[in-house]
Structure 1
Amino acid sequence: MMILFMGIVGAFIGGLTNSIAIKMLFRPYEAKYIGRWRLPFTPGLIPKRREELAIQLGNMVVNHLLTPEVIQNKLSEQSIHEDIQQVLEEKAHAFFQSDHSIEDLFEQIGVKNLGEQVDEKFYSMIMEKVTEWEKTHGEQSLRELIPTTIWKKLDNQVPKVSDYLLNHVKQFILSPNGYHLMKQHIDRFFEGRGMILGMLQSFLDNRNLIERIQQELVKIVDHEKSIAAVNLVLQQELDKVKGGTVKETIEFLLTEQDRANLLISVKKRISLSQYVRRPVRTFNFSQFEDLITKTIIPTILQNVFSKMGLFVEKWMRKLNIPELIKRQVDTFTTERLEEMVLSISRRELKMITYLGAYLGGLIGIVQGMIVILFD
């Protein structure tokens, strides 16, 4: 009975001691005080050293679990390459066969009214470029701005333009319209000129007179001095154009209203919104799709994975994983930490309690035998 009693007491004390020791890892959660004196062993071990625990946990993850070598080895597996490539190819194919428009796809990431934004940006860009070009070249003469070869071609065209104008003048003089115009002027000339000129007109044959005037006018137009004069006038006007500045030329050709009308015309004729609002599948992107899926994606993945080892460690340093883990652990309450530890090692901790009871009982039995032996 003595040996049995000592064994039971020893088992109880050993199990209770280990159970208390395990609970003292977490309990109490906060320091306990009697007046200003803090009770020893308060708070528990883990609450007292949770900051050190968080730091050590972060270092353990980076140095032993989630190392750059582990990540690099995992990413270097061929199956990973094939899976990523397959996913990207499927996404690309789904994109090019989509019934959604580019505007719809951008709306999914929070960009609304893409068509209007594209048009406004396009028109703003055009106006900015035009305004910038005018500021840069506004005081520059057309002679300096336009290449000399073009001016030479225009100079060579002066005789041709002169011939063209004079030929049209002759055609008009000899035409019925020219005939009637001259008749009207002759009749108007004799009207109100007095009785004598009126009687003279009645004796004259207007038809012959007009024909004679037509012949004389044609001779004047065909005369070499007339041709030279027209050539000279055209060349002088062309020289004036050459000497004019860009700013003067634009102001002469376009008023502010003309500019506004021109912009309106450009907006009507050129609109990019119609393209971003069309379903993607309506575009002829078959060659582009093959280029992306068969060339661009494999090439990019190959380059990325070949250089992955150079960046993994750098990225991990920038991420500062130990600090991230420490911050995350700091957000846990002590109750949650206790729950996490117990959920992982509850069985083992119970075994430690049972082991304490077993050893305590064994020691109690030995003590009982010694007491009986020396009694």
Structure 2
Amino acid sequence: MEVEEKKPVTTNTDSSGEESHFKKLGEIISKYLEFDSGSTSKDIRATSAPTIAKLPILQVLKPIPWILCALFAFSFLWDFQGFGAEIFGLSLQFEGIIRIISVSGMIGFLTNWIAITMLFRPVKKRPLLGQGLVPAHKDRIAYRLSHAVSEDLINPELIKQKIRESKAISHYRLQAIDHIEQITEREDFRKDLKTWLLEYIDSMVQNPEFRKKVSDHILLEIEDALQNRALEKAALKTYSFLSGQTLHQFINNLLERLPVTAERNIGYIEEYLDEFPEKIHRNSDKIDEVITLLLYKLINQLNVQNLVEENLQKYDEQRLEMMIRNATNEQLKTIQYLGAVLGTIGGFVIWEPIISLIGLSIIFGAVYLIDWWLYQ
């Protein structure tokens, strides 16, 4: 028997019907796959963003610039004119001290305010004022930050280590098996699955192109198998002659009866569903190994540095500023107001260097000792 070689036939006529069947299968799976959110491992839950630390000292420092402005204005009315004193043989002149310390304090505040403002402003480059440090070096900041993240924070080796330490793969495999066991034991799931399977087989068999493609493939396989077997070939030709139909017609008739055969034997799927969880348990080590290997390959292909850098470069200047300010705003404000305090201290040094330095040394020394004692 000679079989004419056929070119593979691509089935396109019923692609929409096949899609609808698989969509229905997806709906069945989604209907029963409802994982309990409370069973998520605590180690891998997303953590909420830490709140910005509220610094109590900031509330104390905030009025200082306004006090200094008021003292500066008051110095024009009265500034210890003609006041003086003698302490330990040192002659002290108090005239002008209010203006000195107020101006020094305001300069300290303004210089810190300008320095912090210059980190972010101007956003766009200006002819005379230039551009803020962060917007001017946005690309460089993105590169450095992405490099630090990829090298030290979430590099592939660290991710692999965390996967091994957390045992997340085995954890979720056990969770999935427990869930599969619960689903496969449900009668409504088995009924839905069997109904879908029978409908799918019937729709495929009703497609003439599908039957032709399968029968052509079987004929080619038979021809290859009987290539050097003359006796079997002769027996096959004899059977075709006696039955009054070609082998192609015989195979096609078998395919048409496939839905009836499937419906008659659909009960075997019950046995398969009963054994399915146990089969997964028996091959748990291999499953974990395969999933781990796939994850490692995915991680090795993931370029963390490029991913972080590309996303940071998409940030506009204002968004980048807000990101930095949201994390450090309280500290930046404290630095500004501390500038006023340090400037005021500098004013006392300008007024009377020796006594001021001695007093400051005593004060700072006492603060350091108290801090050391509390720390211990």
Range of TM-score over shorter length: 0.5 to 0.7
Residue 3 of structure 1 corresponds to: 97
1:51 partner letter: D
Residue 365 of structure 1 corresponds to: 348
1:118–1:272 CA contact under 8 A, matched in 2: no
Residue 289 of structure 1 corresponds to: 277
Residue 129 of structure 2 corresponds to residue 146 of structure 1: no
What CA distance in whole angstroms lies between the structure 1 residues aligned with 2:265 and 2:134? 59
**Seq. identity, %:** 22
Residue 339 of structure 2 corresponds to: 356
1:18–1:353 CA contact under 8 A, matched in 2: yes
Structure 2 gaps of 5+ residues are 1-78, 80-95, 357-376
What CA distance in whole angstroms lies between the structure 2 residues aligned with 1:336 and 1:300? 44
What CA distance in whole angstroms lies between the structure 1 residues aligned with 2:283 and 2:225? 42
2:327 partner letter: I
2:154 partner letter: L
Residue 143 of structure 2 corresponds to residue 55 of structure 1: yes
Deviations 1:268-316 (A, max 9, x none): 3445875999997x45522332121x212244225655x68xx74x644
Residue 179 of structure 2 corresponds to: 91
Among 255, 258, 261, which residue is 1:266 paired with? 255
What CA distance in whole angstroms lies between the structure 2 residues aligned with 1:51 and 1:336? 14
What number of residue pairs does the alignment pair up? 256
| Per-residue deviation, 1:65 | 0.9
1:68–1:316 CA contact under 8 A, matched in 2: yes
Q: Map 1:117-156 to 2 at 5 A.
A: 118-119=204-205, 123-124=211-212, 126-133=214-221, 144-146=230-232
What CA distance in whole angstroms lies between the structure 1 residues aligned with 2:264 and 2:340? 80
Q: Map 1:222-301 to 2 at 5 A.
A: 250=240, 254=244, 263-264=252-253, 266-270=255-259, 274=263, 282-292=270-280, 294-301=281-288
What CA distance in whole angstroms lies between the structure 2 residues aligned with 1:102 and 1:60? 54
1:55–1:326 CA contact under 8 A, matched in 2: yes
1:102–1:279 CA contact under 8 A, matched in 2: no
Residue 30 of structure 1 corresponds to: 124
Distance 1:265 1:19, change over 3 A: same
Structure 1 gaps of 5+ residues are 33-37, 108-112, 148-240
1:350 partner letter: K
CA RMSD of aligned residues (A): 4.2
What CA distance in whole angstroms lies between the structure 2 residues aligned with 1:81 and 1:255? 56
TM-score, length-scaled by structure 1: 0.55
What CA distance in whole angstroms lies between the structure 1 residues aligned with 2:170 and 2:139? 42
Distance 1:115 1:253, change over 3 A: closer
2:184–2:190 CA contact under 8 A, matched in 1: no
What CA distance in whole angstroms lies between the structure 2 residues aligned with 1:69 and 1:357? 48
Mark the structure with the bigger radius of gyration: 1
What CA distance in whole angstroms lies between the structure 2 residues aligned with 1:356 and 1:276? 86
Deviations 1:238-264 (A, max 9, x none): xxx68xxx77985785457x9558624
Residue 369 of structure 2 corresponds to: none
Residue 100 of structure 1 corresponds to: 189
Q: Map 1:338-357 to 2 at 5 A.
A: 338-357=321-340
| Per-residue deviation, 1:115 | 4.0
| Per-residue deviation, 1:145 | 4.3
Q: Give the structure, 1 or 2, with the largest relative contact order (CA under 8 Å, sep 6 or more).
A: 1
Deviations 1:216-239 (A, max 9, x none): xxxxxxxxxxxxxxxxxxxxxxxx
Question: Which secondary structure does the structure 1 equivalent of 2:125 belong to?
Answer: coil
1:100 partner letter: F
